[in-house]
Amino acid sequence: MKIDVDHHAGLPGVFMRVDGRVKINARHLHYRELNNMIKGAASEGVEEIVVENVFGQRYIGSGIRRPVRIVIHGVPGNDLGAFMDGPRITVDRNAQDGVGNTMNSGLIVVHGRAGDIVAMGMRGGRIFIRDGVGYRAAIHMKEYRKLRPVLVIGGDTQDFLGEYMAGGLVIVLGLKGGKGKRSRFRARHIGTGMHGGLIFLRGEIEEHQLGKEAVAVPATQEDKELIRPFVEEYAGYFAADAASIMGSDFLKIYARSHRPFGGLYAY
């Protein structure tokens, strides 16, 4: 599909080409104008798009199918990277709800916290959130063949983490203020309706915090090798101490069955 580069593209101060990169000043831009510019630049084959003064514009990264780098200065709006297929997004501050909604591939790195339903229905790619996230993170995350989504959360999460989770890997580090200190994990209904995938939690939880479809066991050394590359990647983005994180105990949470409702019906 051909994308028309918006008329703003020629306006000085709004859309600029700097050293082979594109720089967009998002101040006062409607998301539709902003995304039109980003898509236009991406379709021209630009490698990096820096967007400044982002203030709640939604759907950034949606509808782009190239591995273009998008650097966001400011707070992007809901559904950052929804249905995304390729771009690599960095956010220098917090993100809002729906980060990586139904995302297929690409990378999102948030230097702050994110709101509810991070990685909802995510099928591929990686998301790194430096701090905590809201409710229902990784809800209905799934995996398919080579596609295996990874969500790493540096802080903690609210309730219903991994609800309906069908695949993929979620790692919750429980770091407070980036200092590597363990915190008690308070979310309830973890893994409710879970029927696939794995959640690794650094820290401890009580039995009642777990959904009845999920099982939690201490992670073995072998289990931890599975998450090491992603913890190291997290540490690389946010200057955390990977060795000390990996030195602590993790819980591995998995689905009791991949057929949670198999016996529910009268045939």
6, 97, 131, 156: which one binds other proteins (CB under 8 A): 97
User: Which lies closer to other proteins via its Cβ, residue 103 or residue 251?
Assistant: 103
Which window, 44-52, 137-145, 169-177, 214-222, contacts other proteins (CB under 8 A)? 137-145
Residue 96 identity (one-letter amino acid)? Q
Q: Which is nearer to other proteins, 170 or 235 (CB)?
A: 170
**Residue labelled with tokens 């289990």:** 223
Provide the sign of the torsion angle of the four alpha carbons 47, 115, 105, 38, taken in this order: negative
* Three-state SS at 255: strand
Q: Please select the residue that binds other proteins; options are 59, 185, 200, 230, rule is CB under 8 A.
A: 59
Residue 166 sits at the vertex; the CA angle it makes with 178 and 231, to the nearest 5 degrees, is 25
With the C-alpha atoms ordered 151, 178, 159, 210, is the resulting torsion angle positive or negative? positive
Q: Using the rule CB under 8 A, is 157 a contact of other proteins?
A: no
Residue from 23, 195, 202, 252 that binds other proteins (CB under 8 A)? Answer: 195
Contact call for residues 175 and 194 (beta carbons, < 8 A): no
**Cβ–Cβ < 8 Å for 26, 45:** no
The two structure tokens encoding residue 169 = 């890997």
Which CB atom, from 143 or from 156, has the smaller least distance to other proteins?
143
Which residue number, 43 or 94, has a Cβ lying nearer to other proteins? 43
Beta carbons of 147 and 127 less than 8 angstroms apart: no
Q: Considering only residues 41, 49, 72, 120, which one is a binding residue for other proteins as defined by CB under 8 A?
A: 120
* Residue 250 binds other proteins, judged by CB under 8 A: no
Q: Which residues pair with 75 in a beta bridge?
A: 55
Walk across the sheet containing 69-75 and list its strands: 15-18, 21-25, 48-55, 69-75, 85-91, 105-110, 126-129, 150-153, 166-172, 196-202, 250-255, 214-218
Among 25, 102, 157, 209, indicate the residue that binds other proteins (CB under 8 A). 102
Q: What is the x/- site pattern for other proteins, positions 198-237, by CB under 8 A?
A: ----------------------------------------
Provide the greatest CA pair distance for the chain: 68
Q: How many CB atoms lie within 10 A of CB 246?
A: 16
Examine residue 264 and tell whether it contacts other proteins (CB under 8 A).
yes
> Contacting other proteins (CB under 8 A), which of 164, 200, 250, 254?
164
Nearest CB to other proteins, comparing residues 8 and 21? 8
3-state secondary structure of 82: coil
Site string for other proteins, 5-44 (x = CB under 8 A): --------------------------xx--x---x-----
- Contact residues for other proteins, defined by CB under 8 A: 1, 3, 31-32, 35, 39, 58-59, 62-63, 65, 78-79, 82-83, 85, 97-98, 101-102, 104, 117, 120-121, 123, 136, 139-140, 142-144, 147, 163-164, 166-167, 193, 195-196, 258-267
